[in-house]
Structure 1
C-alpha cells in the first residue's frame, strides 16, 4: 500500500469564515460609495458626490474589512492529529 502524502490544509474552517466576513465588509464599504449621479450631466452636485458617507465612512469600512482579511490569513489554525 502506498503512503498518502497529502499536505495539510493551509487554512481551517474558521479562517474561511473570517475571510467571508471580511469580504462582506469590503463589499458593504463599496456599496456605501455608490451613487452621486446627477440626472442632468451639466449639473454637478458637490454635496452629493463629496458626502461624508462616500468620503469618510466608506473608506473606513473598507479598511476594517481589509484588517479582518489580514486577521483571517494570519490566524493560527490548530490541527488535531
Structure 2
C-alpha cells in the first residue's frame, strides 16, 4: 500500500503563500481606510489601497497554482 499521510489539498509552502496574500489584502484595506480625504477619495483610498488589494489577490492566485515539491 502507498503511504497517504498527507491528505491536504496543498502543501506547507502553498499555505504560507496564502497567508501572505491574506495579510497583503488586509493591509490594502487598512490603507484605504487611512485616507484623510472625505469619503476616502484621496490617493490612498482610490489608487494605492486597491493596487495593494489586487496584488494580494495575485499572490493568492499564485499560491493556488504553485506546485509544492513535498506534495508530489
Structure 1 vs Structure 2 CA RMSD? 2.6
Q: Which runs of 4+ in 1 moved over 2 A?
A: 3-9, 78-81
TM-score, length of structure 2 as denominator length:
0.79
CA distance, structure 2, for counterparts of residue 35 and residue 80 of structure 1: 41
Normalized per residue, the structure richer in helix is 2
- Where structure 1 has 5 or more consecutive residues not aligned to the other structure, the ranges are 37-46
TM-score, length of structure 1 as denominator length:
0.71
Q: 1:7 to 1:20 in 2, by over 3 A?
A: closer
- Where structure 2 has 5 or more consecutive residues not aligned to the other structure, the ranges are none
